[in-house]
Amino acid sequence: MFAAAALALLVTLLLVIVRAALGPSVFDRVLAANTIGTLAMLLLSVFGFMTGRPEFLDLVLVYGLLNVIGTVAVLKFFRYGNLGDDGDPAASSEPPPRAGT
């Protein structure tokens, strides 16, 4: 029965990858990447139970933390143009496109 859940998760992963490849805007791709991260977490935990090694859940925790940090980092990059913005206008060659928060 774990195999059925893993198969459903793989089908879901395939459909989401199709959306990431099609996605007209960059935000569609970021959304698909975020969903792929969630699905990888679920697939890892189901796979760990399927092979009788629930220690995979530690990897799932780390993967979830990396997933949200990656999503927020990519969004910040697309909003400000760089990742290390400390508010100093001389540091960046170009002012941020949207200054208001």
Partner 1 sequence: MSLFIDILSWASLVAGGLFCIVGAVGMLRMPDFYTRMHAASVVDTLGAGFILFGLLLQAGFTLVAVKLLMIGALLLFTSPTAGHALSRAAFERGLKPLLADEAKS
Quick check: 66 binds partner 1 (CB under 8 A)?
Answer: no
Amino acid (1-letter code) at residue 10: L
Quick check: 57 binds partner 1 (CB under 8 A)?
Answer: yes
Minimum Å gap between C-beta 95 and partner 1 is 15
- Three-state SS letters, 42-94: HHHHHHHHHCCCCCHHHHHHHHHHHHHHHHHHHHHHHHHCCCCCCCCCCCCCC
Residues that bind partner 1 (CB under 8 A): 1-2, 4-5, 7-9, 11-13, 15-16, 18-19, 25, 27-28, 30-32, 34-35, 38-39, 41-42, 45-46, 49, 54, 57-58, 60-61, 64-65, 67-68, 71-72, 75, 78-79, 98
